[in-house]
Amino acid sequence: MCGVYPLVGVRIPDHAFIRQLSQMCGEPLALTSANVSAQTSTIAVEEFRALWPSLAVVVDGGPIGDQSPECRLGSTVIDLSACGRFRVVRPGCALSATVNILEQKYFLSEQKEDE
């Protein structure tokens, strides 16, 4: 989105509210995480109140996840730019489920850092 990288990230949220909001808009949404880079992920709207003055809109769709520490790991980021392979960019909270889907359903193999 910033023009520096040749790839684009696509977020697939596991949260009913944001999926419904996306469907109602009828087109892609450009969003970012509700935290400052390298800080712990927020899971409730009140946790990033300090950022509100800098935002055009804040929508409270309820807390994300079950409040466990794993929910604060942030998004799992996977690079799918190599044919038949995937590379874990950031493990995140959905790593094992995501890797399982990529390997078992789509028969992709993991590309390690040294490859």
Per-residue pLDDT reduced to its tens digit, 19-42:
898 899 988 887 777 777 778 888
User: CB 22: neighbour CB atoms within 10 A?
Assistant: 16
> In terms of Cα–Cα distance, which of 43, 51, 44, 111 is closest to 82?
111
CA 95 to chain centre: 11
Digit-coded pLDDT (tens) for 70-84 = 888 888 999 999 999
Q: Where are the domains of the chain?
A: 9-65, 76-115
Residue 66: band (very low, low, confident or very high) from pLDDT cuts 50, 70, 90: confident
- The answer to whether 99 and 77 have CB atoms below 8 angstroms apart is no
pLDDT at position 2 is 54
